[in-house]
């Protein structure tokens, strides 16, 4: 009969039908009478069997993995006691090679392991992506972004796309990538926050999922020089509303992913002990965190104890979070450690209405705060940080033309993925990670 052209994910529901598939050879097992091929087209895997006339050609003998093939055959349930993806196999009666791969590569998964030299893995990222683990992380990533978009939609928060090329900095000058913009200086954006703030009077609550750039001069597990930044800005809120929003959105996204059959299967495979975090998240004041670090003998890099006013370094932050073993909302950082735009804590103005969400294995995944609404206070903030006011006139105008309380946050997409899927580094959670010394492929 006539064959129906299908994607591999559709095959499991087509028992008894004749199908035509175009796909890559993921695995190849020649035996005396049957050649088994596991095919992959990015949507799923399927086992196929070449038999009879199909293997009496030279082509079949020197078939290679990663070649592209077209096959036609009948979908059958696998026999009792045997297993195959989707519980089916395709018995092939016609096939041809579309693009022959050079061979010598046994399934990338096997070749590129954690033990492979990192620079070789990085050079071969385009091939590593074909492996099941890397592909699962990317598929999961797509589902997570979709879950966030649904969460925003449900809350009537509008998506905007701010510019990546800017002439102001948000998080300080030390990590700015600078470039020549028609003869004047411009930068790759560090955060879309300031632009989101300007959209509030036009659209109400807004969010974006946009690349941010940081000229990080260190190679850590959790720093990229280009990362996907999910940021939101909420208007007419108080600090408590910001905390509640973050907690409810993160939990909702996790629930959505666990309810999705494909996403939950990926979590189960890559992070079997993962459990949805309990609500409410632990809300920890910065000053209590300093106490915690000292009581648990978690020291600074120079071996001394932490004092109020200190930044909490990546290692100490992760140690504390791993010990506590669940998400933490770390609140009220000292003003001196934070950016110019952060609102002071009314009860103790040397601290701020700020929050980092910390998760086990990674540490900080979210940084957020209430913003200064008062014009004079904002101007004092520029002065304190030595920031020239002129380029920020449009941001300052927000405080002139109808100012109001508002706040927001930025979430590192790769960091959240590293937590959910238990990846050692955020580099595994980016399609083509960029970090110091690496912008290829
Ligand atoms: O804490 P950050 O620097 O905060 C801001 O940029 C704010 N303007 C965001 C806002 O309020 N709209 O960055 C926010 C988050 C961090 O918590 C972290 O998850 C992620 O962005 N992040 C990075 N992820 C990967 N590589 C880097 N170099 C990162 N720098 C920050
Ligand atoms: Mg931060």
CATH number belonging to the domain at 4-99, selected among 3.40.640.10, 2.40.50.140, 2.40.160.10, 3.40.50.300: 2.40.50.140
**The domain defined by 125-429 carries CATH number 1.10.472.50:** no
pLDDT value at residue 107: 45
Is ligand 1 within 6 A of the CB of residue 367? Answer: yes
Is ligand 1 within 6 A of the CB of residue 366? Answer: yes
pLDDT value at residue 103: 74
pLDDT value at residue 105: 57
The reply to whether 125-429 shares the fold of 4-99 is no
Is ligand 1 within 6 A of the CB of residue 359? Answer: no
Ligand 1 centroid–CA 268 distance in Å is 28
Ligand 2 centroid–CA 184 distance in Å is 29
The answer to whether 39 touches 21, Cβ cutoff 8 Å, is: yes
Is ligand 1 within 6 A of the CB of residue 232? Answer: no
- The preferred substitution site among 164, 166, 189, 191 for testing ligand 1, maximizing ligand atoms within 8 Å of CB, is 191
Show the low-confidence residues of the chain (pLDDT under 50).
107
- The preferred substitution site among 166, 243, 367 for testing ligand 1, maximizing ligand atoms within 8 Å of CB, is 367
Is ligand 1 within 6 A of the CB of residue 343? Answer: no
Q: Where are the domains of the chain?
A: 4-99, 125-429
Any residues with CB less than 8 A from the CB of 35 and at least 6 apart, and which? Answer: 28, 29, 49, 50, 51, 54, 55, 60, 63
How far from 79 is each of 83, 310, 371, 372, CA to CA, in Å?
A: 8, 64, 63, 67
pLDDT value at residue 175: 93
Ligand 1 centroid–CA 410 distance in Å is 6
- The Cβ-side half-sphere exposure at 280, using a 13 Å CA radius, reads 9
The answer to whether 369 touches 352, Cβ cutoff 8 Å, is: yes
Ligand 1 centroid–CA 293 distance in Å is 23
Select from 247, 235, 335 the least CA-distant residue to 283: 247
Closest residue by Cα to atom 20, ligand 1, is: 412
The answer to whether 195 touches 162, Cβ cutoff 8 Å, is: yes
Separation of alpha carbons 331 and 342, rounded Å: 12
ipTM of model: 0.99
Max Cα-Cα span within the chain: 84
pLDDT value at residue 336: 93
Is ligand 1 within 6 A of the CB of residue 41? Answer: no
Atom of ligand 1 nearest to the CA of 216: 28
Separation of alpha carbons 205 and 192, rounded Å: 14
Strand-pair partners of 165: 188
Is ligand 1 within 6 A of the CB of residue 407? Answer: no
């Amino acid at each position: 009969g006539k064959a129906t052209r299908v994607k591999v994910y559709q095959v499991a529901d087509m028992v008894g039908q004749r199908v035509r598939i175009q796909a890559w050879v993921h695995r190849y097992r020649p035996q005396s009478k049957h050649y088994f091929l596991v095919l992959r087209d990015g949507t799923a895997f399927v086992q196929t069997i070449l038999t009879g006339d199909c293997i009496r050609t030279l082509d079949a003998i020197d078939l290679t993995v990663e070649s592209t093939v077209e096959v036609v055959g009948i979908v059958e349930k696998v026999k009792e006691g045997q297993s195959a993806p989707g519980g089916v196999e395709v018995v092939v009666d016609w096939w041809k090679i579309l693009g022959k791969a050079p061979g010598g590569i046994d399934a990338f998964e096997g070749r590129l392991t954690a033990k492979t030299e990192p620079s070789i893995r990085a050079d071969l990222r385009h091939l590593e992506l074909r492996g099941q683990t890397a592909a699962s992380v990317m598929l999961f990533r797509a589902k997570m972004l979709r879950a966030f978009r649904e969460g925003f939609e449900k809350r009537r928060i509008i998506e905007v796309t701010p510019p990546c090329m800017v002439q102001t900095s948000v998080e300080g000058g030390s990590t700015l990538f600078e470039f020549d913009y028609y003869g004047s200086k411009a930068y790759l954006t560090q955060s879309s926050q300031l632009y989101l703030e300007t959209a509030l009077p036009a659209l109400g609550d807004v969010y974006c999922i946009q690349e941010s750039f940081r000229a990080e001069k260190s190679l850590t597990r959790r720093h990229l020089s280009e990362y996907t930044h999910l940021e939101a800005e909420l208007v007419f809120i108080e600090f408590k509303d910001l905390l509640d929003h973050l907690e409810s959105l993160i939990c909702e996204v996790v629930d959505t992913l666990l309810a999705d059959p494909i996403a939950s299967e990926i979590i189960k495979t890559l992070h079997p002990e993962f459990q949805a975090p309990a609500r409410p998240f632990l809300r920890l004041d910065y000053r209590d965190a300093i106490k915690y670090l000292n009581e648990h003998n978690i020291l600074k890099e120079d071996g001394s104890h932490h004092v109020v006013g200190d930044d909490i370094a990546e290692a100490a932050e992760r140690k504390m979070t791993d010990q506590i073993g669940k998400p933490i909302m770390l609140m009220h950082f000292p003003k001196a450690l934070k950016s110019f735009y952060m609102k002071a804590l009314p009860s103790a103005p040397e601290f701020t209405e700020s929050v980092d969400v910390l998760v086990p294995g990674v540490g900080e995944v979210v940084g957020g705060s209430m913003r200064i609404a008062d014009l004079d206070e904002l101007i004092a903030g520029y002065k304190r940080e030595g920031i020239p006011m002129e380029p920020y006139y449009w941001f300052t105008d927000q405080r002139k033309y109808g100012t109001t309380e508002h706040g927001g946050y930025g979430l590192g997409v790769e960091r959240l993925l590293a937590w959910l899927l238990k990846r050692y580094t955020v580099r595994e959670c980016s399609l083509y990670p960029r970090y110091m010394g690496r912008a290829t492929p």
